[in-house]
Amino acid sequence: MVAVHGRGYPPEVRQKILDMRAEGASIEAIVRSCGVSRRTIFQWLSAHRNGEAAATGQATAVPEPPSPHTPARRASIKDVATRAGVSVSTVSNFLNRAGRMSDATEKRIRAAIEELHFAPNSLTRAIRQRRTRILGLITYGMSDLEKYISIANSVLVGVIDACRESNYDFLVYTNWWQAEKHYTGVNFLGGQVDGLIWVGPSIREPLLERVGAAGLPSVALLSRHVPPGVGYVNADNVGGMELVVEHLIALGHRRLAYIGPEDLSNALDRRAGFWKSVDAAGLSDTCTEFYPRTNKWRMENYGNVLKAWAAAPDRPTAIVAVDDMFANFAIECFEALGYRVPEDFSVTGFNNMPSSANGWRLGLTGIRQPIREMALTAGRQLIDVIEHGSPDRPCAITVGVELIVGGTTGRAPRPHD
């Protein structure tokens, strides 16, 4: 064994350092155990290696740590090979679990990686393997996270759970409502992601059609109207509306009014479920709706309709809203007019995601769709396609929903009330 000298330290300390290093201990572990500075340890190890190599005429210097004033540089695979005393190809085999090597060699490479804080270049690996292990997620509600409980919270948690199970990451695309202005097919098809989850796409979303046609594994969440090649995970919107109508009929309501825009896939299904239920109950002649096909997001129009309904002699006694936002808007309008909820009007929502003080205070009656579980399922389905290839048909999953009865529904008022 080559002797290593260090001023002020007993030989047994130096020998302990050499023994620990030979066993694969990291520099940090040696510092903690022996109380010797990193620079001194590097110097001793360098002298030891150069001394061993000198006997064969192949002196090799161990690089010293950079000084505090030297800008840090990311370690390369070559740096790891030099530190571990092996070839670059050996380090590559270690990283890719290819070939065989001794335990001692593995320990040296692992220790060198730890000391140099080395991380393989994920971009290079992705190009070589044609796989990033990243899912794309485009969703609405991100800008509302600080305002109220947004649907995006549950979506994000569900996708995180799916990615954690399979060691994936995900990339969130912003500006959902202006997607066509901000994105083209290149954003999703350029290799940044292995697959795409699109939350609440429009019924004929051109970008989703392009993605499906290009063969990128894709799943729509909260929509069942999808283009060819795209799967979906959605709630039973028709069945949910049937539960709402049955609940109101059981409370004695016979004049129901549906309110909401003609917009996304789920809005179509919820309106269809409303009329299916009132038709089955023989109440078509006493029920009404406001379902605008133009200016569908101009809330003033909805307010005017609600005011007109309230003033009518045969006014509706229950408002069935397309979602929680419209339900809470109806509550605010009625209370501003001096009416009480639920004494004068019962109001229902959909999503069970309170979005205003009124809905939260009263406990909004409506349908709970398990958004977190749906997002988890969408993530799992997408990863399964990425890992095992596309099945004959994309996934088409419809999950059950639950009626949550809160304080915004009550017995229908008597005619003279």
CATH number at residue 33: 1.10.10
Q: Please state which of the ranges 92-106, 231-245, 295-309, 341-355 shows the lowest mean pLDDT.
A: 92-106
pLDDT of the residue at 101? 87
Q: Are 4 and 110 part of one and the same domain?
A: no
Q: Are 309 and 247 part of one and the same domain?
A: yes
pLDDT of the residue at 214? 87
Cα–Cα distance measured from residue 363 to residue 359, given in angstroms and rounded to the nearest whole number: 6
In a domain, 189, yes or no: yes
Q: Is the pLDDT of residue 49 over 70?
A: no
Q: Are 146 and 31 part of one and the same domain?
A: no
Amino acid identity, residue 114?
E
pLDDT of the residue at 336? 96
Q: Are 378 and 230 part of one and the same domain?
A: yes
Q: Is the pLDDT of residue 306 over 60?
A: yes
Confidence of residue 45 (pLDDT cuts 50, 70, 90): confident
Q: Is the pLDDT of residue 62 over 70?
A: no
Top pLDDT among 208 and 415 is at 208
Q: What are phi and psi of 173, to 5 degrees?
A: -95, 130
Confidence of residue 410 (pLDDT cuts 50, 70, 90): very high
Top pLDDT among 115 and 355 is at 115
Are 364 and 408 contacting, i.e. CB atoms less than 8 angstroms apart?
yes
The pLDDT of 137-143, averaged and rounded, is: 78
The pLDDT of 27-41, averaged and rounded, is: 77
In a domain, 44, yes or no: yes
Q: Are 229 and 377 part of one and the same domain?
A: yes
Q: Are 264 and 353 part of one and the same domain?
A: yes
Question: Which tokens in the block code for residue 355?
Answer: 């979005």
Confidence of residue 176 (pLDDT cuts 50, 70, 90): low
pLDDT of the residue at 242? 97
Terminal CA-CA length for the chain? 102
Confidence of residue 60 (pLDDT cuts 50, 70, 90): very low
In a domain, 394, yes or no: yes
In a domain, 413, yes or no: no
Q: Are 241 and 302 part of one and the same domain?
A: yes
Confidence of residue 89 (pLDDT cuts 50, 70, 90): confident
- Provide the CATH number for the domain around residue 103: 1.10.260.40
Top pLDDT among 352 and 331 is at 331
Number of domains in the chain: 4
Question: Which tokens in the block code for residue 226?
Answer: 């999808």
Q: Are 264 and 342 part of one and the same domain?
A: yes
Top pLDDT among 391 and 222 is at 222
Nearest Cα neighbor of 85 from 119, 57, 61 is 61
Q: Are 267 and 205 part of one and the same domain?
A: no
pLDDT of the residue at 288? 96
User: By percentage, how much of the chain surpasses pLDDT 90?
Assistant: 45
Q: Which of 11-25, 132-146, 271-285 has the highest mean pLDDT?
A: 271-285
pLDDT of the residue at 175? 60
What are 213-262's pLDDT values in tens digits?
Answer: 888 999 999 999 999 999 999 999 999 999 999 999 999 999 999 999 98
pLDDT of the residue at 54? 45
User: By percentage, how much of the chain surpasses pLDDT 70?
Assistant: 80
Top pLDDT among 47 and 386 is at 386
Q: Which domain holds residue 160?
A: 134-235+371-398
Q: Are 353 and 282 part of one and the same domain?
A: yes
Going by DSSP bridges, is the β-strand pair 218-221/195-199 parallel, antiparallel, or unpaired? parallel
- Provide the CATH number for the domain around residue 190: 3.40.50.2300
Is the entire prediction scored with pTM above 0.75?
no
pLDDT of the residue at 2? 37
pLDDT of the residue at 63? 47
Are 138 and 200 contacting, i.e. CB atoms less than 8 angstroms apart?
no
What are 177-203's pLDDT values in tens digits?
Answer: 555 556 666 677 767 889 999 999 888
In a domain, 415, yes or no: no
Q: Are 381 and 344 part of one and the same domain?
A: no
pLDDT of the residue at 53? 44
Q: Which of 49, 65, 81 is the last residue of a domain?
A: 65
Cα–Cα distance measured from residue 232 to residue 247, given in angstroms and rounded to the nearest whole number: 29
In a domain, 259, yes or no: yes
In a domain, 345, yes or no: yes
Q: Are 256 and 365 part of one and the same domain?
A: yes
In a domain, 410, yes or no: no
